[in-house]
């Protein structure tokens, strides 16, 4: 179980340009500052991830995300409030071109994560900055449910490694809200830890 000291170490590591392995609400992740290109390069090298592929941006609670992302249209903000926190990666329009290191070749889109913090990782709610994150596995290989399943090269190459015990092991569901404001449409791009029916039920409350 993580504690407040672990949360402070993670925030300090990311803010200082480091790369960290950490537990989320789904699988183990690897993270860095979403505006730090040098840190992002290290993360991609450790993971063996193609340089053109985007990574998600994770906030550890919803209110700081909504406060920072003041440009989000009302439809998106309402959708986020019924969907998050939870095991979702939500694609949103990014007119302010934030998080350049995470967005890669598509600066007008970013993926938002706000995890549901169970008892084992509840201390992460103290983190006040966003992180760029991807799953802590070699690109194309199975996700890590335990810290021991994270590749040893990644654990040894990271600046900080946090153990949150065994996780669910199913990656986040990915949904696309970029057409929600203009056309009232949304799309499930990958069904994962949250069933599509649960997404439908949540968004139906906005109708």
Query: What structural domains and CATH numbers belong to the chain?
Result: 4-204 (3.90.870.10)
> pLDDT tens digits, residue range 82-123?
999 999 999 999 999 999 999 999 999 999 999 999 999 999
Q: How confident is the model at residue 51 (pLDDT cuts 50, 70, 90)?
A: very high
> For residues 144 and 38, what is the distance between their CA atoms, to the nearest angstrom?
25
Tokens 């889109």 locate to 109
This prediction's pTM: 0.96
Residue 205: predicted pLDDT: 87
Question: In b/e form, how buried is each residue of 116-130, taking b as 16+ CB within 10 angstroms?
Answer: ebeebbebbebbeeb
Residue 206: predicted pLDDT: 84
Please say if the pLDDT value at position 207 is more than 80. no
Share of the chain above pLDDT 90, in %: 98
């Amino acid at each position: 179980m993580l504690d407040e000291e672990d949360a402070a170490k993670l925030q300090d590591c990311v803010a200082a340009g480091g790369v960290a392995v950490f537990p989320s609400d789904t699988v183990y992740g690897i993270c860095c500052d979403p505006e730090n290109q040098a840190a992002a390069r290290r993360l991609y090298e450790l993971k063996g991830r193609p340089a053109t592929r985007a990574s998600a941006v994770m906030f550890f609670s919803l209110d700081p995300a909504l406060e920072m992302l003041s440009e989000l249209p009302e439809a998106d903000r309402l959708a986020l409030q019924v969907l998050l926190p939870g095991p979702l990666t939500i694609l949103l329009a990014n007119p302010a071109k934030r998080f350049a290191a995470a967005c890669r070749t598509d600066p007008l889109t970013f993926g938002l994560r706000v995890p549901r913090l169970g008892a084992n990782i509840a201390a992460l709610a103290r983190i006040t900055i966003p992180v760029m994150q991807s799953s802590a596995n070699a690109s194309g290989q199975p996700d890590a449910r335990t810290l021991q399943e994270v590749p040893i090269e990644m654990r040894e190459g990271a600046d900080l490694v946090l153990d949150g015990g065994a996780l669910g092991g199913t990656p986040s569901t990915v949904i696309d809200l970029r057409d929600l404001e203009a056309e009232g449409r949304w799309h499930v791009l990958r069904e994962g830890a949250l069933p599509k029916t649960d997404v439908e039920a949540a968004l139906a409350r906005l109708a």
